[in-house]
Amino acid sequence: MTGAELTWEVLSQLGTTVVFGVPGGAILPLVDALATRREIPIEFIVSRHESASVHAGNGYARVTGRPAVVLVTSGPGGTNVITGLVTAMTDSVPLVLIIGQVPTTLIGTDAFQEADLFSMTMPAVKHSWRITDPGEVADVLFQAYQTAGSGRPGPVVVEFPKNIQFMECPQRGLPTSLLEEEVWEEKPMVWSRIKAYLRSAKRPLLYVGGGVVSSNTQDYVMQFAEDYDCPVAHTLMGIGVCPSSHPRSLGMLGMHGTWYANNAMQHADLVIALGARFDDRVTGKLDEFAPNARIIHVDVDAAELSKLVRPHVAIHGDLRTMFPKLLKAVPKANHDEWWGTIREWKSSHPLKIPAAIEGTVASATVMQVINNHLNPDDVVVTEVGQHQMWAALFLHREKPRTFLSSGGAGTMGYGFPAAMGAQFAAGEHRVVLLAGDGSFQMNLQEMGTVAQYQIPLWIIVLNNGGHGMVRQWQDLFHGKRRLGVDLLNPDFVRLAESFGIRGFSVNSKEALDEALTTMESINAPVLLEVMIPKDEHVFPMVPAGQPLSTVLEG
């Protein structure tokens, strides 16, 4: 086989059924090999821009839990993916990005569409390879796939020169695994300290992040919470680990977290942090974070331990191997007094729904209405901005991998293509995109992709005529001096219709509910524009640099 043909054989053996990307000169041998090998069960989904291809792979990987494969060409094709790689790296999303390169004989000559993508992408990925010998093709692809999905997941890059794609490669079976199964080292002194902390705590709190989702250990978390009678607060990446309807859920904590989640952190005497990295959007003012608590931190990435917050017990280990042993040590506990305090907080500081303004729908109300049209297995994908926080606060998600958002990088333009990728993974379940008008326009060209492949997304655009989150910060912290936040928007409904996509626009709660009911019977992409108040702010909010106890409630 040629290197190009062997690539598809290997990817197929690894379970790949869909590849996202944009064709180009340096990857034409790969594209042609897929076109001629009809027996290979892999579909090539062509986006309108390479950044969208990477985000689509991100959405696919987060729903399936398996590495997604993305294919782009050399030069600008490769440079266009760097934002997507940063997005995937910060959120620990497994991607295998195959980037075409000019022939090895031309590398370093400033050939047409040559760029040193191996070096450019290296800071944004777990590992990079450049294939320089046809005998490396199968092994490199297998290593790349394994590396992307192991340990703390993340993106990897394989740079594939064009002449290697043409060369004949040796065929051999794939190894069963390149990775040794990790065994958690159980240190007696550390274990004794954990048990002592669990026994003595009166106000414990479970703080869970995306690592629980990546490791599929949500059932362990909920068993721990039940056995230990402990509340659960989650990060943006941890949404769905503890069902929104569960009585132990405190919701999201951090800058736009609930009042009671943030104050539970500040009053806790024991914090068990699982697969979370103490991000600045969660901790607020570091030297006043969880001032009364002993902290146990478990993470698969040793670099995250003591990086920002120094725990009393740091455990470097995979939650999948650590949790079964931890559950055996959890004492049956009763924390009635602590729960009494939390119930009082929930009663006195609930999430607030703003009053309606004529001609618009309050964003929190939008989320409440959407809740009535969602099933537990439906997948919600957000763009970045105010609507992202309203969704995190007010949407009900009962399962992990049903809420996707750009957390660490905060990448506007992520949501629309990520929703496309998520739909290829979600099967018959509905995928709903929630976008602000500003974020939506950062990858608006993907309307063509959705229309071409008839991807049956619900595209819901919350339109407040600009960059709402920036506007909010200018209003609250910059003397209401607004600059660069108002946008001249297209007619989103007519734009959708120009692609053959049905569109609706609503400005009342009743019309919103009616439109969603109509959309339930449409098995095709559909766009819904919802007019929301231009000056609406998202609360609760902890001002940047302030402790979590400083919660603005609006």
pLDDT for the residue 179? 57
Q: How many residues does the chain have?
A: 554
Of all residues in the chain, what percent carry a pLDDT higher than 90? 92
Which residue in the list 20, 101, 126, 162 is annotated as catalytic? 162
pLDDT for the residue 148? 97
Please state, in angstroms and as integers, the Cα–Cα distance from residue 507 to each residue in 1, 383, 463, 510, 533, following that order: 59, 21, 10, 9, 10
pLDDT for the residue 280? 94
Does 182 have pLDDT greater than 70? no
Residue 554 pLDDT grade (very low, low, confident, very high; cuts 50, 70, 90): confident
pLDDT for the residue 356? 84
Reduced to 3 states (helix: H, G, I; strand: E, B; else coil), residue 19 is strand
Which residue in the list 469, 519, 531, 541 is annotated as catalytic? 469
Residue 239 pLDDT grade (very low, low, confident, very high; cuts 50, 70, 90): very high
Which residues make Cβ contacts (< 8 Å) with residue 121, sequence separation at least 6?
Answer: 78, 81, 82, 85, 97, 99, 128, 157
Whether 112 sits among the annotated catalytic residues: the reply is yes
Which residue in the list 113, 445, 452, 474 is annotated as catalytic? 113
Angle of the 319-329 helix axis to the 188-200 helix axis, nearest 10 = 60
Which residue in the list 112, 307, 352, 514 is annotated as catalytic? 112
Q: Which domains does the chain have, with CATH numbers?
A: 3-166 (3.40.50.970), 188-348 (3.40.50.1220), 363-531 (3.40.50.970)
- 334-360 per-position pLDDT tens digit: 999 999 999 999 999 999 999 889 999
3-state secondary structure 388-431: HHHHHHHCCCCCCCCEECCCCCCCCCCHHHHHHHHHHHHCCCCE
pLDDT for the residue 103? 95
Of 527, 380, 525, 376, whose CA–CA distance to 457 is shortest?
A: 525
Residue 313 pLDDT grade (very low, low, confident, very high; cuts 50, 70, 90): very high
Whether 420 sits among the annotated catalytic residues: the reply is no
Please state, in angstroms and as integers, the Cα–Cα distance from residue 144 to each residue in 125, 152, 338, 442, following that order: 11, 14, 47, 30
- 510-545 per-position pLDDT tens digit: 999 999 999 999 999 999 999 999 999 999 999 999
Whether 358 sits among the annotated catalytic residues: the reply is no
- 240-271 per-position pLDDT tens digit: 999 999 999 999 999 999 999 999 999 999 99
Whether 113 sits among the annotated catalytic residues: the reply is yes
Whether 162 sits among the annotated catalytic residues: the reply is yes
Which residue in the list 5, 50, 304, 383 is annotated as catalytic? 50
CA distance 18 to 411: 24
**Bridging pattern class, strands 43-46 and 294-299:** unpaired
pLDDT for the residue 188? 82
Structure tokens that stand for 434 in this block: 């929630």
The mean per-residue pLDDT over the stretch 409-419 comes to 98
Residue type at 292 in one-letter notation: N
- 443-482 per-position pLDDT tens digit: 999 999 999 999 999 999 999 999 999 999 999 999 999 9
Of 105, 211, 101, 108, whose CA–CA distance to 162 is shortest?
A: 101
Average pLDDT, the chain: 95
pLDDT for the residue 180? 57
- 18-74 per-position pLDDT tens digit: 999 999 999 999 999 999 988 899 999 999 999 999 999 999 999 999 999 999 999
pLDDT for the residue 190? 86
Task: Check the CA dihedral 359-365-371-372 and report its sign.
Answer: negative
pLDDT for the residue 181? 55
- 376-403 per-position pLDDT tens digit: 999 999 999 999 999 999 999 999 999 9
